[in-house]
Structure 1
Amino acid sequence: MKPEERLAEWIGESRNIVFFGGAGTSTESGIPDFRSAAGLYRQEEELPYPPEVMLSRTFFMEHADVFFDFYRSKMLHPAAEPNGCHRLLAELETSGRLKAVVTQNIDGLHQKAGSSRVLELHGSVHRNYCMKCSRFYSLEQMMAAEDTVPRCKDDDGIIKPDVVLYEESLNQETLYRSIEAISQADLLMIGGTSLTVHPAASLITYFQGARTVLLNADPTPYDSRANLLITEPIGEVMERVGMMLSLG
């Protein structure tokens, strides 16, 4: 039996699925990841500072203009569309099998595909707030801002993307809900993540079920513990799995 056929079989037998995903989930939608050969961290020679420096709270506060130049050019992909992975997960939620998507991504593609039970560990580019008055601004408003550093029209405060920067803590409620969902799952699908970014990666240790599926192109520290390992492109695999399933 092919790995994707096994995955389709396990999905069909499960009633409480959780998907834990990272940047590799969206690469087939045209959004670069961070650590692969074509990832953002390999472009350091083209950047004024290392990405992890520019994506820190300290850098944001001290060099907001450089931060936003980098953020707009490298982190925002408003034209990206969901791929086969996002679409299948949305279908699984509709069928009642998938209970939550726990994602490290900030692109909003799971919601664009139709998922509503999405726990965004690192925030979202679609939410932006004035640091003085907390007024909300959409991604479209951020993209249309004429100034390098977007400012609130009410009090001229800097508008900060609701994304978790280096030196910032993850939202505790989101963490708690993610742990709760993973600990109750009977099938955990892990996709498109190197499982090296903590504390997010450590959440999978709360899984108590019997079946773990790992879909990732590159090796991870969790490979030997997965019940099923798939290294083909996740969007293509999930597209084929969806065709094998009769959801309803």
Structure 2
Amino acid sequence: MNEQIDQLAGFLDRHRNVLVLTGAGLSTASGIPGYRDEEGVRRGKAPVQGPEFRSSDALRRRYWARSMVGWPTLAHAEPNAGHRALARLESAGRVGQVITQNVDGLHQRAGTARLIELHGNIHTVRCLACERRQHRAELQQRLLRDNPALGSVLAQPLPDGDAQVEPEALEEFIVPHCEACGGVLQPDVVFFGDNIPAERTRHALQWMDEADALLVVGSSLMVFSGFRFCKLAAAAGKPIAAVNAGKTRADELITLKLALPAQEVLPAVAGLLAAT
């Protein structure tokens, strides 16, 4: 492991502007379940599709009921040593910017400043009609007030604040609506089947264009929105390093790979670079 730590420290030391791309594997040490196993295969059922969420009352009831039960896992999650190490590396000028596929908000809480949340932030809820925004924590209080029977339900936590809630628990569930206009509420995230906002994409691609190397942390890269950065880096001849415990979609493009936990690797690298 020490040799690999040295290699990754050398990678960061050699390159002036390293762009970091992070995924769910970085946040599992904070108690947030990941989407995939070590082979990159998705666990559980297919995720919510954006178009279906907006068109189906039943799907919105299912989503908000499961979110109400699963929310405490996200609400109580704290940045882990990997998040904090990336913030230190950024502050020390060892990495340039961070693009995250995660919606958990842990990078900001750890202190990362130059950040793009590619898929949004689940701690904010917006109205699809009037665009009013509110904190997800505030909405949780409404959900608990309107659905007290579900407030005591224990369920297996799933990624991004979801939980395994059985259909019979959903029949009487009261779905929240916008208090200002009565419109449909949606977490301020990019659901599967939806497009990343154009300006956010433009900004992220500009960072990739300006970077001279790419570091992937905790992502299998099975979703194209992340994989595209590896394709762009490889096409431009920019080296790619990865810290990921399992298989990635870009393994053949990666120059240096550490199949080790990010919460162990990144603090060690940050400490080594600080010493040098």
Q: Partner of 2:201 in structure 1?
A: 175
Structure 2 CA distance for partners of 1:149 and 1:10, relative to 1, 3 Å = same
Q: Partner of 1:166 in structure 2?
A: 192
Q: Partner of 1:154 in structure 2?
A: 180
* CA distance in structure 1 between the aligned counterparts of 2:139 and 2:230, rounded to whole angstroms: 34
* CA distance in structure 1 between the aligned counterparts of 2:41 and 2:79, rounded to whole angstroms: 20
Aligned residues: 241
The answer on 1:115 being equivalent to 2:116 is no
The one-letter code matched in structure 2 to 1:190 is V
Q: Shift of the alpha carbon at 1:71?
A: 2.8
Structure 2 CA distance for partners of 1:41 and 1:229, relative to 1, 3 Å = closer
Extract unaligned runs of 5+ from structure 1: 45-49
TM-score for both structures, normalised by structure 2: 0.79
Is the contact made by 2:230 and 2:240 (CA closer than 8 Å) also made in structure 1? no
Q: Shift of the alpha carbon at 1:55?
A: 4.2
Q: Partner of 1:224 in structure 2?
A: 252
* CA distance in structure 1 between the aligned counterparts of 2:102 and 2:41, rounded to whole angstroms: 14
The answer on 1:35 being equivalent to 2:63 is no
Q: Shift of the alpha carbon at 1:40?
A: 10
Greater relative contact order: 1 or 2 (C-alpha under 8 angstroms, separation 6 or more)? Answer: 2
The one-letter code matched in structure 1 to 2:259 is T
Extract unaligned runs of 5+ from structure 2: 147-173
The one-letter code matched in structure 2 to 1:57 is P
Is the contact made by 2:230 and 2:250 (CA closer than 8 Å) also made in structure 1? no
Structure 2 CA distance for partners of 1:60 and 1:33, relative to 1, 3 Å = farther
Q: Partner of 2:22 in structure 1?
A: 21
TM-score for both structures, normalised by structure 1: 0.87
Q: Partner of 1:190 in structure 2?
A: 216
Q: Percent identity?
A: 32
Q: Shift of the alpha carbon at 1:74?
A: 4.2
Q: Which string of whole-angstrom CA distances, capped at 9 and with x for unpartnered residues, describes residues 30-77 of structure 1? A: 11111117x9953x4xxxxx342x344313531211111223344661
Q: Partner of 2:230 in structure 1?
A: 204
What secondary structure sits across from 1:245 in the alignment? helix
* CA distance in structure 1 between the aligned counterparts of 2:139 and 2:51, rounded to whole angstroms: 19
The answer on 1:7 being equivalent to 2:33 is no
Q: Partner of 1:97 in structure 2?
A: 94
What secondary structure sits across from 1:246 in the alignment? helix
